[in-house]
Structure 1
């Protein structure tokens, strides 16, 4: 497979992941962190890092809006729930180091 095709496939997979996460507003970031070691915020940080590596100036709010499909504050207000004590405890045990 040539590099252009690989990049196109990776971009399509990324867009599908972002679309899936936008639809699954019931899945909380803490659950993603506890199970997979990353969440929507991590994904938006990785996106911003990729932009920075290419000389594109992007702030955290912009990259989060790309991933969340709306301003982060709006998403939190509409969809984020208070983490349970069990979720918080699991996060402390499984907290990634990135």
Structure 2
């Protein structure tokens, strides 16, 4: 594999992030709880990571603005349009997923 210069690597990473963001904006049928249960992250995680990156870089971006960038609309609008109530099965899987990520001795 060829060595990538830092600017090229950053551009590729940014393009991959934008593609993931766009994919999640298109896949409104995939609920955040399903993402959390399957992959351990969701749209809210992405928006939090963006907010944290902004803080690290000294960029003025609040949490709501970061969510709007990830969701493609204000979060409250997205929730009203696309978020379904989690089923008992989804909630149970989420609780199990949290326990699995905490690992032994997390108490």
Same fold (TM over 0.5): yes
The aligned residue for residue 42 of structure 2 is 39
Q: TM-score, normalised by structure 2?
A: 0.88
Deviations 1:32-56 (A, max 9, x none): 0000000000000000000000011
Please give the TM-score of this superposition, normalised by the length of structure 1.
0.96
Deviation at 1:60, TM superposition (A): 1.2
Task: Give the corresponding residue for 1:57.
Answer: 60
Tell me the C-alpha RMSD between the 2 structures.
0.9
Q: CA deviation at 1:57?
A: 2.4
SS where residue 7 of structure 1 aligns?
Answer: helix
- Please say which structure displays the higher CA radius of gyration: 2
Residues of 1 paired with 2:11 and 2:59: CA distance? 20
1:8 matches 2:11: yes
Q: Residue 5 of structure 1: SS of its match in structure 2?
A: helix
Flag structure 1 segments of 5+ consecutive residues without an equivalent.
none
What's the secondary structure of 1:32's corresponding residue?
helix
CA distance in 2 between partners of 1:92 and 1:45 (Å): 21
Provide structure 2 residue ranges, at least 5 long, that are not aligned to the other structure.
103-107
Give the distance between the partners of 1:39 and 1:60, measured in 2 at CA. 15
